[in-house]
Amino acid sequence: MRVDRQARVWVVQHAEIVAALCLRPLAQGYWLSGLFVAPSQRRQGLARQLIEQALAPASEPVWLFCDPELHSFYENLGFLPCTSLPTALAERLSRYQRKKNLIALCR
């Protein structure tokens, strides 16, 4: 995951980093640009914990792109399909969708 100076990063560490989340400030909100959990640590609630902690203080919108298979996971965390994105994200999503099937969600 690439992180710029403006991004906020959360990690879970058990002797080594096993999960990480990155929020980038964008257009009166944030873009959740990365959420990673080590394969051996999946299905233990780490992603949910990271998202809940990172977004707890956020009153602004948070956007993300995900594979349609992850829609229900994010929906359970309060994310809904997003039809209107800030211009920078709409352009990025359009580029990404040329190579893979992604949907935009917002909370």
**What is the pLDDT, as a whole number, of residue 4?**
66
- State the Cα–Cα distance between residues 87 and 90, nearest whole angstrom: 5
- What is the set of domains in the chain, with CATH numbers? 8-106 (3.40.630.30)
How far apart, in whole angstroms, are the C-alpha atoms of residue 79 and residue 64? 9
For the chain, the residue count is 107
Q: What are the pLDDT tens digits along the chain (107 aa)?
A: 566 676 676 566 667 888 999 999 888 899 998 999 999 989 999 999 999 999 998 899 999 999 999 999 999 999 999 989 999 999 999 999 999 999 999 99
What predicted TM-score, i.e. pTM, was given to this entire model? 0.83
